Amino acid sequence: MSRLVPATQMLKKALEGKYAIAQFNINNLEWTKAILTECQALNAAVILGVSEGAGKYMCGFNTVAAMVENMMETLNITVPVALHLDHGSYEGCLKCIEAGFSSIMFDGSHLPIDENIEKTKELVKLAHEKGLSIEAEVGAIGGEEDGVVGMGECADPEECRKIAELGVDFLAAGIGNIHGVYPENWPGLSFETLAKVKEQIGDLPLVLHGGTGIPADQIKKAISLGVSKINVNTECQLAFAKATREYIEAGKDKEGKGFDPRKLLKPGTDAIMETVKEKAEVFGFTGSAAK
């Protein structure tokens, strides 16, 4: 029996309770352990996001699913955990359904809307037959992800309605958000678009990608307008890199057994746990496992 759950329930509760669940992307064993451990300590439900590139890096989706399942058992993780494909291709979605993921995202935002609708419809059926939740995307999220650069669009609310009607469990709509670090001249989230999308999709939870670096007041406003899932990746990467660099620059890798990977990677792992704690504060997901 899988320990993983689809993300549907946790997001419904988040929408009702006016907070957001975090999707933290995982890139290796240390990140996964740090995020699971901290979310357990916070009694918080969590979504572990895996991009196709990260999946490849971690030796495939089967390896990732087995790692997360076994880690949950060993660490005695009892909070709800969804293992979710991030920005999946059609083929990637099929692979993750087979591998035992509990949630998938089909990103057809770059396709003509009719093709996005067609493929999303097929995947909704397949995912639901196997008990997985499914996210779709309208309006490409800008910035860079796995080498693909988008321009940060605002979704067409009418198209959002069409995709929502296909039975997806949550929807990512571009509202001027971008992946990675926001440029100095970023105009901020388009709350006008968000409100119009919300009008069209009713009670469907909305997803905000590019959670790194969005000021807390904008995050809170987005949550108040129906955002229930916020994705964070770059912020963990930056925190991990900074802590590791400081450790090495201080020469600690040369002291005693400081070069032992278990010691070398610890500051970075601790920094990820801190990031999870900070996000819990802003998104309001502490204690969400009990809700």
Q: Does 52 bind ligand 13P (CB under 6 A)?
A: no
**Candidates 86, 107, 156, 169; catalytic one:** 86
Q: Considering only residues 232, 239, 272, 273, which one is a binding residue for ligand 13P as defined by CB under 6 A?
A: 232
Nearest to 93 by CA among 83, 102, 105: 105
Tell me, yes or no, if 86 is annotated catalytic: yes
Backbone φ, ψ for residue 64 (5° rounding):
-65, -45
d(CA 181, CA 241): 14
Q: Where are the alpha helices (DSSP H) in the chain?
A: 8-17, 29-41, 52-57, 61-74, 90-99, 113-129, 157-164, 191-201, 216-224, 234-249, 261-264, 266-283
Query: In one letter, which amino acid is 104?
Result: I
Told to check if 53 binds ligand 13P by CB under 6 A, we report no
Task: Report yes or no: 142 and 189 within 8 Å, Cβ to Cβ.
Answer: no
Give me the amino acid identity at 77.
I
142, 211, 226, 268: which one binds ligand 13P (CB under 6 A):
211
Out of 52, 137, 159, 235, the residue judged to bind ligand 13P by CB under 6 A: 235
**Site map for ligand 13P, 180-209, x if CB under 6 A?**
x----------------------------x
**253-282 positions binding ligand 13P, by CB under 6 A:** none
Q: Which of residues 125-164 bind ligand 13P (CB under 6 A)?
A: none
Per rule CB under 6 A, is residue 231 in the interface with ligand 13P? yes
Site residues for ligand 13P per CB under 6 A: 25, 49, 86-87, 179-180, 209-212, 231-235
**Active site residue ranges:** 86
